[in-house]
Amino acid sequence: MSLRKPTRIEIILAGAAVLIFLLLLEALLVKKGGSLFPFAYAWFGFSITVVCIAGAHHLQALLKRPKDYYQAEDQNG
């Protein structure tokens, strides 16, 4: 039996299941007093990634050059 390629919706559902499972585990930790900063890792893992990507995207407009600016010849990136 060969495995078929999963559809996009199946991948999204699987990912969501993993995230919810991790949040439930964290809730269990908070309840047992084993987490000093509740949900901090999940929240900052997500938010800092988003902030970094958005920041880098906007910084790119300022710093990116289509050719090798230093060598004055097109290296095509």
Which residues are at the interface with another protein (CB under 8 A)? 15, 18-19, 22-23, 25-26, 29, 34-37, 40-50, 52-57, 59-60, 63-71, 75-77
CB of 12 to another protein, least distance (A): 9
CB of 49 to another protein, least distance (A): 3
Q: Cβ closer to another protein: 13 or 19? A: 19
Separation CA 11–CA 6 (nearest Å):
7
Phi, psi of 58 (to 5 degrees): -75, -35
CB of 1 to another protein, least distance (A): 19
The secondary structure of residue 14, as a DSSP letter, is H
End-to-end CA distance of the chain: 44
